[in-house]
Chains A and B, each alone.
Chain A
Amino acid sequence: MDLQSNLQPELGKLEQIVSQFLLKSLHIILDSRVPSLRSHDRSGDLSLGSQVRKSDKWFNLVLGDRPASLDNLNFWHRNVMDPMIIDVILVHQGSNSPSVAVGGSVETVIERWVVQYEYPRVVAAQTGESSANYKKTYKKSIILLRALYSQMRLLPAYRIFRQLSTSSRTYNFDIIYKVSSFSDPFSRAEEGMMEEHSFPAVEAYPGRLCISVTYRTTLSDFNLEPSTSMPPKIITDYVGSPNTDPLRSFPSSEKGVSATSFPLRGVQAPAPVPLQRPHSWTSGFHRAAFSAQNQPFVGSPPAYYPSPMPYDYPSPPAYYPSSMPYDYPTPPTDIRGNRVQHYRVPTHQKAISYDDYQLSPPFSPSPSPSSPSYISNAYPMQTRVRSETAPVSIPLPMQSRSFRYLSPNSSDPNRSSLPPLSPRSRKTDPSSQESPSGITYFRKIESLRSGEMQPVTANHYTGQKVTRDSKDDSGRFSGLLSSSGSPRIGFSRSSSRLSFQDELDDIDFSYPFDVDDVDTSDFHASQNLDGKKASEFTSQSSPIGRKSQDAAVGELVRMLRTAPPLRQDPSCYSSHSMKTELEGGVATASGFFMPRKTGDALEELRSYREMKDLLLSKSGRVISKEEA
């Protein structure tokens, strides 16, 4: 400002007041509108005894720590003359809004705040005393900011902000913001729905501080509601169910990111994912997680999944007038995979509940060292299983994997409460009657299982289950995959084992493909291997899709056969059993969906027996874990 030199100190103070005023008003506005910025815990901030930062004492209004993103806006200091336009944007799904539609979701500006230091072109001569002008300005701006603070709570947008920020549910909308020094004017239609309110300006000689807002008077025409999340329940027709999209493609290992439609049973039609804006990410990863489950394709922004810290992400404020404020990085594929998985979690009965999942990723009550990776492992495994490895009756890999999944309960805190096997034993009994020839074997297994040989029997059971599964439509993994969230590898067989399946559903079964946090690196290695193999599968879960996936199955089989031994005697479970299965089954949908004949069953029995022996020998370590 070019004024007389005797006013310099005053001007300096005034400029400081103005710039702080801008910052403070921005802080107030964002704090009351953008949930993501409030994610830091403020409960402790407002105690009288706590220390108040000097910067927070401005205008005698303590708001708590300023989000890191706001600090990036100190560029406002450079030119306090520019208006600061803050758009509060509602990201929602909607077709009736004329706003820009991105990725299925619509952004609508519901409030536009303009904070500005108006500097007149012609500076009126200062009348009266000038010395304490800035003091008066300061006092009045305090009042103005208080009024702003109160007003924020009286406007319609505050309600939805509260919904987002306080509720633990997830919603199908989000609030983000954009700060710039200019803005596109509203369209006629939009203007018609908005009202304007201006606060009386505060004299700040030679200019004045103004705040005004243009806001939507009603938000009822938006369809804002909690996103329907799948309640934890058993999904009997899990991956590979005939009802699922047979042409669904599972993310392959190469890309890791692809549109995948998972069976969304009981889930509402996919809701558009909230825009993955850097600053909207921090609004709570769980929210995105839930939205993910509603989407057929994995587009959710789980990038912050690994770390729930709100400010870990690229700083949001899009104060570049020309750039879109919502450039978001591509979500990490594996995380997305996890995300995709996430919605499936509840499909496993007693699976890790949503709440558990919602907890920060580091959450893992499991004592096992691999617990932090448990989540990331388990779910990817699930992904793989569901999406790729669906029905795979591979004694060899199963055997190798079964160890991995042997101790699901012990390591999985969520499953630890569930009896490992006995319930299953019991439950499988009646159902076993339904299966044809293999049932006798199954019963035998069960009798074994009912004893202490739980881990072993688990394996056998899983093996058996694999067989059983195969009989069922491949999609029947939900039951098999226990609440531990073990990936279910369904061995689809022609004969359906529905009732059996259902009973298994209730059992917390250490499925062979339980991707629990088995502590051994071997398990992980085998997991990874399986995952890799799995990733090469296309959807095999659906019997309908079987026929279309022979090639994939064959590929899998080949891969498994040629896979390096996974810590186990390679001699055991030679692929011959698989071969035999394949021979008969390749003609049909997948090698594993072959009609069961006695011969097949016997061969399977043999292979399982071998597996059992192997597992028994190795189960010592696992058992101990499981018992834990």
Chain B
Amino acid sequence: MNCEVCQLKDLEVEHFEIREVLRCILHTIVFHRALGLVRPKDIDLELFDVTYVQCGDVELEKKIDEKIEHFISWVEKHPNKKSQICLSFYEVKNKQPYWFTNKIERLYWEQWYINLNVAQHPKAHSSKSHNSKVVVDPGEEERIARRTAVEASLREVLFQIIKFVNEKKDHVPPIPNSDGVVYFPHEITIPSSSDSAFGMDMIKRMLQTGHPTMLS
């Protein structure tokens, strides 16, 4: 099976919006791919007028939040960079132990790239301090306009996800038979501390998900 890749639209977000936006996107993707028994949970975003759906699994929430925190700390270290978060779904295959594949192998069948441009304006900090009344008025209008734009973009991204999820279904592996909440195994990758390392991650992944013929 091939690996479907989806590059989501770029999103310009401010620092304080990262958490919510990422949660929204990541949960939405997982909701559409967690095909086990799920009790959907509606979550309203605070910053935007958007409602997304979570799987209602506490473990998953924790995992996602953890990754988001990692990402935020990474962004703080690398300000004003285009960043990418990759959510990958894979299948665990126990391959015959070969000379370098003793371990369990992962076959990625789907990857989502969330592209964020984190803008860190000086004003952003002031807005975080909740002194909204003290903020300069023209800045307020601008912020509102920007917020609306971000909301619209976020909605577009969500529509994009839903569309992609529906269009490509053939590659989704059969659902493992088990009770309870079942997800396809997935992982969230954030860019590591250096760009080159990030690139290495990509190469590693390519090797893993490369043509089976390469590995065999």
The distance in angstroms between the C-alpha atoms of A159 and B174, with both chains bound, is: 35
Q: Is B95 an interface residue (CB 8 A)?
A: no
Q: Which of A48, A60, A139 contacts B174 (CB 8 A)?
A: A139
**Is there contact, CB below 8 Å, between A150 and B31?**
yes
| Interface size band for A | 20 to 34
Q: Known interface pairs A46-B56, A153-B42. Does A139 touch B172 (Cβ–Cβ under 8 Å)?
A: yes
| A60 in contact with B35 given A154-B159, A158-B51 (CB within 8 Å) | yes
Q: Is the CB of B41 within 8 A of A153?
A: no
Q: In this assembly, does B155 line the interface, its C-beta being within 8 Å of a C-beta of chain A?
A: yes
Q: Could you tell me if B49 and A150 are in contact, using CB atoms closer than 8 angstroms?
A: no
Question: In whole angstroms, what is the CA distance A45 to B181 when docked?
Answer: 16
Chain B contacts for A146, CB-based, 8 A: 31-32, 35, 38, 53, 165
- Residues of A near B162 (CB, < 8 A) are 147, 150-151, 154
CB-nearest residue of chain A relative to B167? A200
B-side contacts of A52, CB under 8 Å? 37, 39
In this complex, which of A61, A150, A200 has the most chain B Cβ atoms within 10 angstroms of its Cβ? A150
- Report the Cα distance A551→B37, complex, angstroms: 72
A158 and B37 alpha carbons, distance in the complex (Å): 24
Q: Separation in Å of the B202 CB from the closest CB of chain A?
A: 27
Which residues of B have CB within 8 Å of A162?
51
Indicate the member of B41, B155, B175 with the most A CB atoms within 10 Å.
B175
A60 touches B41 (CB 8 A): no
A residues 216-230 touching B (CB-CB < 8 Å): none
Considering the complex, which residues of chain A in the window 239-273 have a beta carbon less than 8 Å from any beta carbon of chain B?
A: none
Contact residues of B: prevailing secondary structure: mixed
Query: Is B40 located at the chain interface by the 8 A CB criterion?
Result: yes
A-contact bits for B175-186, CB 8 A (1 contact / 0 none): 100000100000
Additional 9 contacts, C-beta under 8 A, given A48-B58, A60-B37, A153-B51: A45-B39, A48-B39, A62-B38, A62-B39, A135-B174, A139-B174, A140-B172, A147-B166, A154-B159
Contact string against A for B residues 14-53, beta-carbon threshold 8 Å, 1 for contact and 0 otherwise: 0000000000000010011001111111100000011111
Asked if A199 CB lies within 8 Å of chain B CBs, one says yes
23 contacts between A and B (CB under 8 A): A46-B39, A46-B41, A48-B58, A62-B37, A62-B39, A63-B40, A139-B172, A139-B174, A146-B31, A146-B32, A146-B53, A147-B165, A150-B28, A150-B31, A150-B32, A150-B53, A150-B162, A153-B42, A154-B50, A154-B51, A200-B166, A200-B167, A200-B169
CB of A150 within 8 A of CB of B37, answer no
**Quick one: closest A residue to B40, CB to CB?**
A149
Chain B residues within 8 Å of chain A by Cβ, number:
32
Q: How far is the CB of B46 from chain A (nearest CB, A)?
A: 14
A481 → B minimal CB distance (Å): 43
Main secondary structure on A side of the interface with B: helix
B107 interfacial by beta-carbon distance below 8 Å: no
The answer, yes or no, to whether A18 is at the interface (CB within 8 Å) is no
Are A60 and B38 in contact, CB atoms less than 8 angstroms apart? yes
> Which residues 133-166 of A sit at the B interface, judged by CB distance below 8 A?
135, 139-140, 142-144, 146-147, 149-151, 153-154, 158-159, 162
Residues of chain A in range 441-456 having any CB-CB distance to chain B below 8 Å:
none
Shortest distance from the beta carbon of B91 to any chain A beta carbon, whole Å: 14
Are A48 and B53 in contact, CB atoms less than 8 angstroms apart? no
How long is the Cα–Cα vector from A551 to B161 in the complex, in angstroms? 74
The contact of A150 among B36, B52, B167, by CB within 8 Å, is: B52
Contact at B167–A61, with CB atoms within 8 Å? no
Determine how close the nearest CB of chain B comes to the CB of A117; give it in whole angstroms. Answer: 17
A162 CA / B45 CA spacing, docked (Å): 13
In the assembled complex, the Cα of A149 lies from the Cα of B41 at a distance in Å of 11
Beta-carbon nearest neighbor of B181 in chain A: A48
Q: Which of A45, A139, A144, A154 contacts B166 (CB 8 A)?
A: A144
CA separation between A48 and B35, bound complex, in Å?
16
Is B158 in contact with chain A by the CB < 8 A criterion? Answer: yes
A621: Cβ under 8 A from any B Cβ: no
In the bound assembly, the distance between CA atoms of A569 and B40 in angstroms comes to 68
Please, which residues of chain A bring their CB within 8 A of the CB of B169?
139-140, 143, 200, 202
Indicate if the CB atoms of B36 and A60 lie closer than 8 Å.
Answer: yes
Q: Does A57 contact B (CB under 8 A)?
A: yes
Q: Report A30 CB to chain B, min CB distance, Å.
A: 15
Contacts known (A46-B56, A150-B32, A200-B167); A143 close to B39, Cβ less than 8 A: no
The 6 A-B pairs of least Cβ separation, nearest first, read A62-B39, A153-B51, A200-B166, A46-B39, A60-B37, A147-B162
Name the CB-closest residue of A to B57: A48
